[in-house]
Amino acid sequence: MSTSLDDEIEALQARVNTLKSHLRIHTSTLLTAPSTLSLITSDRQLQSQSSLQQAHTQQCLYRACASITTFRTRDPDPRAVDSGSLLGLRIEVVSRGKFLRPYYVILNRPWRGHRHHLRVHRHTLPACVSVGGLAARYLPAPIGGDQDEDGEGEKGKKQDLARFARALRREVVRYHNRLGVVADLRRAAELAGKKNQEDDEKGEEQQRKRENMRLVDIRPADVEAKQIAIEWEDGRTGRLVMDDDGEIVKLVIVGENGRDHEAKRDLLGGARRVEDVVKRLAAIS
């Protein structure tokens, strides 16, 4: 008796939550509709809510289209430089048709004599992006800025936030594309494995050849996912090296008797990019 009652309460609670989320969605939809805007001109509270909603919608639009957006935030540390005001960069990443959690770079202005010079304060970028190196290139510290002097210091190199942001985004997107290609390779190889099990009626010779072709593991082998380690069922291992943009630099396959050039030709088949290998793998199966 009591358990059924508990279940009922739980179900009702879940229903309340879904209804609440529906309510929120409807509110925001209604508030953005132009017809509602003309209706609520008299209500102060609704109007402020509506303007908030409009601002949010605009922000979302910018985020979805521009992929790099900025925002202002504050450092909670009472001893923070520049009384805690910070500039945030939000870098959107799309992978497999979904927006991932954006990457953030938070910048501050630590040099008192150089009010417009920024410096990276915090960031959430993956370890494969050399944020320090890019910051040294595009956001160089002002000369003499270390002394914390007031007034005009000697002019150093110019900072270029836009190029910094672009370079960061380029690195991040490349990284995610490389990861995506590795995932595609895996999927193509797994597909091959499944199909092999299905078509048993094919000739035994061909079957064995395919068995040997079967890949058991494909994974990124280094920090930047530029190298892919490939393992075959018969113990051969391979290493595919691609450059920043996914062009194949090198592929080495080592079997029991040293380098296996035939398998390399089989896998590559004149492919220049890793995506071509994905297509080939999918076609072979």
Of residues 160 through 219, those in contact with another protein by CB under 8 A are: none
Could you tell me the smallest distance in angstroms from the CB atom of residue 193 to another protein? 23
Whether 72 contacts 88, CB under 8 Å: yes
Q: Which stretch binds another protein (CB under 8 A): 36-44, 221-229, 260-268, 270-278?
A: 221-229
Q: Which is nearer to another protein, 146 or 154 (CB)?
A: 146
> Does 128 participate in binding another protein (rule CB under 8 A)?
yes
Residue 115 makes contact with another protein by CB under 8 A: no
Closest to another protein by CB, 20 or 209: 20
Of residues 130 through 169, those in contact with another protein by CB under 8 A are 130-137, 140, 146
Does position 285 interact with another protein (CB under 8 A)? The reply is: no
Q: Does 70 bind another protein (CB under 8 A)?
A: no
Query: Binder to another protein among 44, 72, 101, 194 (CB under 8 A)?
Result: 101
Q: Among the candidate windows 37-45, 73-81, 209-217, 251-259, which touches another protein by CB under 8 A?
A: 73-81
Task: Identify which range of 34-42, 76-84, 253-261, 269-277 contacts another protein by CB under 8 A.
Answer: 76-84
Binding residues (CB under 8 A) for another protein: these are 20, 24-25, 27-29, 32, 49, 52-53, 56-57, 59-64, 75-81, 92, 98-99, 101-104, 106, 108, 110-111, 119-128, 130-137, 140, 146, 220-225, 227
